[in-house]
Structure 1
Amino acid sequence: MNPRSVYIHIPFCTHKCHYCDFTAYVVGGQPVDEYLEALEREMAQTVEAVPPETIETIFIGGGTPTVLTPRQMETLLQAIRRYFPRWSPELEFTVEANPGTTESELLSVMVDGGVNRLSIGAQTFRSDLLERIGRVHSVEAIVRSVEEARSAGISNVSLDLMFGLPEQTVEDMEEALERALALKPDHFSVYSLKVEEGTLFHTRLLQGKLPLPSEDDELEMYQRTRRRLTEAGYHQYEVSNFSRAGRKSRHNSTYWLNLPYYGLGTGAHGYTRGQRHQNVKGVKEYIRITRDGLPAADVHPVHRSEEMENQLILGLRLLEGVSRRVFQNRFGTEIETVFAHVLPGLLDKGLIVCEKDRYRLTERGLLFGNEVFSSFLGEAA
C-alpha cells in the first residue's frame, strides 16, 4: 500500500526554544530558497520511486513553517500540488505556526493553496513562563493568531499546550486551560515537557538550575487537563490529544495506526513500502545530497515482528485501542498468539483491558503508558 499521507519539514524558526531538540535552525542567514528547491527535488525523486495514491492528509511541520514569506510559501504549496496532484475531497491539510507569524497575506496564500487546518504552538498563557522556556511570542499573539486564522477562512484550529514546565504550578495549568478554552479551538495537543539531550534545558538540568515541578504536580496537571477538556466537550482520543466531534488529527492518526506516509525534508522520517527512513540533518547537507539522489541518512526494512510490535505500541496510544480483527487481517495471526508472554501480565496489572474486539489502555494504563508500550519491544513471537 502506497502512502496517502505526506509530511514536509520546514526547519526554520525565528528563535530556538530552550526545550527543542527538533531539526530546527534560526532562519536568519539560511538558504531558504535553495532549501525549497531541494525539497522539490526530493518530491520528484520520491514520487518516481513510490507513486502517490489519492492524498488524504498533508502536514507541514517544523521548525516554524510560517516563517516563510508569502512568496516562499506559495512556491512550496505549488510544488506539493505538482507532485501530489490527487487530493481527497476530505483532505486535511495542516500547517504548524507559532503565534506572531500569521500575518494576513501569508494566511491568504495558504488558504489559496489548500491549507484548511492550523496548529498553533501556544504552550502556556503565562507571560514570564513563555520567556523562561525560550518562546518569543506574547500571550496576546496567541489570541491574535487564532483570530487571524479564522478571519482568513481556516476554521479548523488546534492549540498546543505544555505542562511540567520549570516553575509551573497546577494553578498555572488550570489558568492556561481556561484561557485556551475561551478561544474555542477545535483541537488540543497537550504534552508534558521532556528534557532531551542537546537542549539548553538539559544543560541547566545537569547544572541543577532547572526547577521542574514534582512528579505528583505533573500528574495532577495532566489529570486536571483531562477532566477540564472533557467537561468542555472535547473527546480524548489519544494519550495527549483532545478534539471536538469530527476534528481529531487524521494525519497524526496515520502514525498511531502504523500506516505508511511520505516524509520529506531535512531530518524528516518516512515509512513507505515496508521501509522506514530518516533524512540527513543539516540544511546545506540536505541541499547538496538532493542534487544527486534521495537524502536518506538511514533506511531499514521493517521486519514483520517489528511491524507487529509497532501496531501495539502505537495503536495503544489511541484510547479506542487496537483492533484484534485488524491485526489478524494485517498479519494473518492473532494478537494473543504473537504476544502470549506480554498480554497476561499487563491484564493482571490492570494496565490494559480486552473488550470485544479491542485491547485498550485502562485508566491506570493511561498513566503508566510508557511501561505498557515498552513491554512489547522485542516480544513479537
Structure 2
Amino acid sequence: MKISSAYIHIPFCQQICHYCDFVKFFYDEKAADQYLEALEIEMDGYVPGAKQVMKTIYVGGGTPTVLTAVQLEKLLKMIDGHFDIDKCEEYTFEANPGDLDQEKADLLAKYGVNRISLGVQTFDNTLLEELGRVHKEEDVYLNIDRLRHAGIDNISIDLMYGLPNQSVELFEESVDKALELNLPHYSSYSLQIEPKTVFHQRYKKGELSKPPEEDEVEMYHLLQKKLREEGIYHYEISNFSRPGYESEHNLTYWDNAYYYGIGAGAHGYLPGKRTINIRPLPAYLKKVFEDGKPVLHEEPVELKEMMEEEMFLGLRKMEGVSRARFKEKYDRDPDEVFGGAVDTLIDRGLLEEDGGYIKLTEQGKLFGNDVFASFLID
C-alpha cells in the first residue's frame, strides 16, 4: 500500500468544549503563526520535493476555521504546495458553526476544499450552552448557506446523543432539523465522558449524569430509522450517507490503510509503524524547530497487529470484513488466525456472515467494543 492520505491537525479553538479530549488550545494569533511555520517544516519532512498525489486530505482540530482569513490562506497555500490538490478526490476541513464568514468559505473553495465537516452536535440552544459550545442553532443555517454560496455542497454534520439533560424527544427534534437541511452525510456519536475534561470533573463530583442506557439505545435506533427513511444509508457504526458521499478519508482508517499524521498530537500510520506526535504546543514547536521531527512515539506494527486491526477497524463498516480481501492481504483466512472467534460471536448473535463478508448484527453494533476485543490474538 502507498501513502495516499494525510491528516493535518489544527489545535486551536475559540472555546474549549466541556466534553472534548482532543489536542486543543485557546486560540492565540501569535501562537497560531508559529504553529503554521512549524507545520510547514513538518510537511517538508514528509514531502520534500514535488507535490505528492493524495486520495484524501483531512484538516481537523481543534477548529481549523478559527484561524484568521490571512492564516487560513497561508495554511491552504502550504497544503497546496506539498500535495497535488487537483488530483485529490476528497479534501475536507472541519469547521464550527459561527466561525465561517463568507470570506473564509470562499477561500476554502478557491483552494480546492470540496468537503466540510460541521460540528453541530445539537440544534437545542440550551444543550449547546451546557456543552460549552459558542454557536447557536441559527449559526448552523447561516454557515451552510455561506458554504453553498461558495460552491461547497458536500457538507457533513455531527450530532451527539446521550447528552446530560437530553431526552429522546429532544434528540429527535435535532435529527428532524438536520434532515430538513437535505445534506449528503451525517455522523452521530454517543457522548463519552473522557478524563481531563470539564464533564469528567463534574461527573466525579456527582454533578453530571447521562440519560439511562435504554434511552441511548432508543436514540440510536431512532437515528437509524429516520435516516433510512430518507434514503441515507448506514455505512459505518457512527456514519450515514447518501450513495457516493461516504467519507473516503475515514474509510482510509477503517480499511487499515496508510496516512500521514501532521501536527501536534496527530497520529499517523506509515509502513511498518504507527506514529504519535508530541501533544503540548510549546514542546511540539520546540522539537519541530530543532530538527523537524516532532514524533513522540513510534510503535512497530507487526503482522499480528495488522490482522487484529483489519478485523476491529473493518467491522466498524456495515459491509464488514471481506474474507477474500483479508486472505489477499495476509495469505490466511480469518478463521486460521482467530480460531473460533467468528463462530462464537455468530452464536451469540453479535456477528453474521453474508456473501463472504463478516459483519456486525444490530445487536453487535450496540456492543462493538466487546466484539472487537475478541480479535486481540493475545
3-state SS of 2:287 partner? helix
Q: Aligned residue for 1:40?
A: 40
Change (3 A) 1:70 1:296: same
1:223 paired to 2:221: yes
> Where in structure 1 are there 5+ consecutive unaligned residues?
none
SS of 2:55's equivalent in the other structure is: strand
Matches within 5 A, 1:231-242: 231-242=229-240
Is the CA contact 2:51–2:81 (under 8 Å) kept in the aligned structure 1? no
Describe how 1:83-232 pairs up with structure 2 within 5 A: 83-85=82-84, 87-88=86-87, 91-232=89-230
2:18 is aligned with 1:18: yes
CA distance in 1, matches of 2:355, 2:122: 40
Mapped to 2, the partners of 1:337 and 1:52 lie a distance apart of 42
Deviation at 1:375, TM superposition (A): 1.3
Task: Indicate the residue corresponding to 2:331 in structure 1.
Answer: 332
Query: Which residue is 2:304 aligned to?
Result: 305
What is the CA–CA distance in structure 2 between the aligned matches of 1:85 and 1:44, rounded to whole Å?
14
TM-score by length of 1: 0.96
Distance 1:348 1:52, change over 3 A: farther
- Residue type matched to 1:296 in 2? V
CA contact (8 A) 1:4 1:52 kept: no
Contact 1:9 1:266 in 2 (8 A): yes
Tell me what 1:69 maps to.
Answer: 68
Where structure 2 has 5 or more consecutive residues not aligned to the other structure, the ranges are: none
- SS at the partner of 2:201? helix
CA distance in 2, matches of 1:204, 1:231: 38
1:266 and 1:30 mapped to 2: Cα distance?
16
Matched residue SS, 1:31: helix
Residues 84 and 30 of structure 1: is their aligned pair in 2 closer, same or farther, counting only changes over 3 Å? same
After superposition, the Cα gap between the structure-2 partners of 1:150 and 1:20, relative to the gap in structure 1 and judged at 3 Å, is: same
- The superposition leaves residues 177-222 of structure 1 with CA deviations (integer Å, 9 ceiling, x where unpaired) of 0111111111000000000000010011011111310000011111
Single out whichever of 311-320 and 182-191 deviates more from structure 2: 182-191
SS in 2 for 1:60: strand
Letter in 2 for 1:8: I
Instruction: Report the AA paired with residue 227 of structure 1.
Output: K
Query: If the length of structure 2 is used for normalisation, what is the TM-score?
Result: 0.97
What is the alpha-carbon distance in structure 2 between the residues aligned to residue 85 and residue 181 of structure 1? 34
Contact 1:2 1:52 in 2 (8 A): no
Tell me by how many angstroms 1:378 deviates: 3.0
Contact 1:170–1:217 (Cα < 8 Å) also in 2: yes
Residue 28 of structure 1: CA displacement?
A: 3.2
Say which SS state the counterpart of residue 345 (structure 2) adopts.
helix
User: Does the aligned pair in 1 maintain the 2:52–2:84 contact within 8 Å?
Assistant: no
Given that 1:11 and 1:24 are in contact with CA atoms closer than 8 Å, whether structure 2 keeps it comes out as yes
Shift in Å, 1:273: 1.2
Moved more, 111-120 or 336-345: 336-345
Which residue identity does 2:178 align to in structure 1?
A
- Structural mapping, 1:263-342, within 5 Å: 263-291=261-289, 292-342=291-341
Alpha-carbon distance between aligned partners in 1 of 2:255 and 2:91, rounded to the nearest angstrom: 19
| 1:11 counterpart letter in structure 2 | P
Deviation at 1:357, TM superposition (A): 1.6
Instruction: Percent identity, please.
Output: 46
1:86 Cα shift?
6.3
- TM-aligned CA distance change 1:347 to 1:30, over 3 Å: farther
Mapped to 2, the partners of 1:200 and 1:226 lie a distance apart of 30
3-state SS of paired residue (2:309): helix
Q: Distance in 2 between matches of 1:108 and 1:281?
A: 31
Contact kept, 8 Å, 2:52 with 2:82, in 1: the verdict is no
Distance 1:212 1:364 in 2: 21
Q: What are the Cα deviations for residues 32-81 of structure 1, in whole angstroms up to 9, with x where unaligned?
A: 111001000000012249x9852111100000000111211111111112
Per-residue CA deviations over 1:324-368 (Å, capped at 9, x if unaligned) read 111111111111100114122111111111222211111111121
Contact 2:86 2:112 in 1 (8 A): no
Deviations 1:233-259 (A, max 9, x none): 101000010001110100000000000
Alignment deviations for residues 257-303 of structure 1 (CA, whole Å, 9 cap, x no partner): 00000110000000011210010012221111112131000101101
Distance 1:52 1:321 in 2: 34
Aligned to 1:372: 371
SS at match of 1:6: strand
Change (3 A) 1:86 1:27: closer
Q: Could you list the per-position Cα deviations for residues 120-147 of structure 1 after superposition, in whole angstroms to 9, with x for gaps in the alignment?
A: 0010011111001111100100111111
Contact 1:316 / 1:360 at 8 angstroms: preserved in 2? yes
Matched with 1:5 is 5
**Residue identity in the other structure for 1:326:** R
- 1:213 aligned counterpart, secondary structure: coil
Deviation at 1:157, TM superposition (A): 0.5
Runs of 4+ more than 4 Å apart: none
